[in-house]
Structure 1
């Protein structure tokens, strides 16, 4: 699988670059999808549910993959019609450092290929409301209003930022996010040790049916892209292999990233 993934992303490198360059002004686009009919909607279902893992993927870690897997397993089999790995090229809190957008697209694709019905997408928008808006717009010709539901996987820190009033210019958080929750859900990965008062307040504002909580195991929850970059810089190979998939380790080494 290692060689086949390398061969595929290497073969597609120029095509991915062309898509990134030609789509730079678009609000949302994909560089990889498993089928022209992605996501696969059950003809008997009135809803199409798309699981979205939105992250910087700098680089993608085993924790990213576990977030996707755990989220899928937290719902009934075939609950989701497809999954999306999403990168925001203009994040509201971060500047682009480390891997290039092209390199992230390639690494994300290697992760996506390991999960059925999973695509790789990009947006220049940093706010969740904008991401949701333009993903819905991209599918407008396929799914009618209200038919497509997005389930965003977020970490606890991201959840806290999302509910921070400073991002909403004086508008209440509930008023600002109510349109978002009309067609979107959140899946928050925490360690079960976070502020109880935060969750009481959150659920009293939006309702528990809109926000699912999941937990990763103690070891995986500590893995991060920051740790991976540090291990690469310090040449701690053994540590790196516990953080990254072998495909990503080989790709980072081959391309001398970080």
Structure 2
């Protein structure tokens, strides 16, 4: 898919459908579908740090942009060994998200537009160093498995074997560290040992109050309470459940300007705005490339009707 992002939407979607079909029939757990450069310099050295933004991208939004931008252009970037690389990762067997209302191919196409927007903006602040950006797909639904799939890729996707830094939200880290998700491991959080013992890290974006449609895990916790939760991981808070105290050093808080307001974007609000053709609202919630794609392809035309129908049935 490299070099195809300048195609019109129909051509791009057709190309992505073919690439995705080839991946799904290959029985491989991971594949890079596309890459972009942030500068026109010669090829960057092989990465030492691979930032990974894993999402359902339904659709990609300014929240995704803010997370990736903060990781690569904010204070967090200074703590990780360079060269850096960014992977926008999509799971075709996501554990929590259904394959609708937008198809996998449509989401990957929108990820391509997000990648272009990110490359342009990151290139402005990291002018003297290239940061490659990849779009990748995996069949694994879980974080430990995703990193293992990337590492096991043959031929190697990243021959330099960079450390993985997953960029996640606070509600996601509470699920990741919830014992109920690991019934086959004793103690349950020992399931995370392959990830942390490999040296991989988590970069956590704290969630402002009332910032999401999906607040059941974060609840009503404020920033101070969320920070305290992460701090206590280094004080044996979850030791009885199999979390090792030393792993806490591999979990840090993502920092960046205006990060809090962007994280509150609702994907449902975007889908409804597209359905209602409210392009002003869409433009406030999505990057320019994604907004243009949504206007051309309209993948959520029936979103409002679906919501209304579900409401009537409940």
Unaligned runs of 5+ in 1: none
Residues in 1 aligned to 2:274 and 2:48: alpha-carbon distance in whole angstroms: 40
Q: Which residue of the partner structure matches residue 32 of structure 2?
A: 30
Q: Which residue of the partner structure matches residue 175 of structure 1?
A: 190
> 8 Å contact 1:6–1:247 — kept in the other structure?
no
Q: 2:282 aligns with which of 240, 244, 253?
A: 240
Q: Which residue of the partner structure matches residue 206 of structure 2?
A: 190
* Residues 79 and 209 of structure 1, relative CA distance in 2, 3 Å threshold: farther
> 8 Å contact 1:31–1:121 — kept in the other structure?
yes
Q: Shift in Å at residue 75 of structure 1?
A: 1.6
> 8 Å contact 1:48–1:81 — kept in the other structure?
yes
* Residues 141 and 174 of structure 1, relative CA distance in 2, 3 Å threshold: same
Q: Shift in Å at residue 142 of structure 1?
A: 6.7
Q: 1:126 aligns with which of 141, 144, 147?
A: 141
Relative to the length of structure 2, the TM-score reads 0.70
SS in 2 for 1:75: helix
Residues in 1 aligned to 2:280 and 2:157: alpha-carbon distance in whole angstroms: 46
1:107 aligns with 2:115: no
Q: Shift in Å at residue 208 of structure 1?
A: 4.0
Residues in 1 aligned to 2:169 and 2:83: alpha-carbon distance in whole angstroms: 20
Q: Shift in Å at residue 183 of structure 1?
A: 3.3
- Mapping of residues 15-164 of structure 1, within 5 Å: 15-24=15-24, 25-34=27-36, 42=45, 48-73=48-73, 74-76=76-78, 79-114=82-117, 115=119, 116-138=131-153, 141=156, 147-164=161-178
> 8 Å contact 1:156–1:189 — kept in the other structure?
yes
Residues in 2 aligned to 1:160 and 1:239: alpha-carbon distance in whole angstroms: 31
Q: Which residue of the partner structure matches residue 202 of structure 1?
A: 233
Q: Shift in Å at residue 130 of structure 1?
A: 0.6
Q: Shift in Å at residue 42 of structure 1?
A: 3.2
Residues in 1 aligned to 2:292 and 2:171: alpha-carbon distance in whole angstroms: 30
> 8 Å contact 2:45–2:83 — kept in the other structure?
no
* Residues 140 and 175 of structure 1, relative CA distance in 2, 3 Å threshold: farther
Residues in 1 aligned to 2:206 and 2:199: alpha-carbon distance in whole angstroms: 23
Q: Shift in Å at residue 240 of structure 1?
A: 1.7
Q: Shift in Å at residue 117 of structure 1?
A: 0.6
1:194-246 Cα offsets, whole Å, 9 max, x none, are 44552233233344430120146342121132221122234433222110112
> 8 Å contact 2:85–2:132 — kept in the other structure?
yes
Relative to the length of structure 1, the TM-score reads 0.84
- Mapping of residues 214-233 of structure 1, within 5 Å: 214-215=254-255, 217=258, 218-233=260-275
Residues in 2 aligned to 1:171 and 1:92: alpha-carbon distance in whole angstroms: 21
* Residues 120 and 141 of structure 1, relative CA distance in 2, 3 Å threshold: closer
1:35-58 Cα offsets, whole Å, 9 max, x none, are 8xxxx6637xxx721110000111
Unaligned runs of 5+ in 2: 38-42, 120-130, 208-222, 236-244, 301-314
Q: Which residue of the partner structure matches residue 211 of structure 1?
A: 251
Q: CA RMSD in A?
A: 2.7
Residues in 1 aligned to 2:63 and 2:191: alpha-carbon distance in whole angstroms: 30
* Residues 13 and 234 of structure 1, relative CA distance in 2, 3 Å threshold: closer
> 8 Å contact 1:189–1:214 — kept in the other structure?
yes
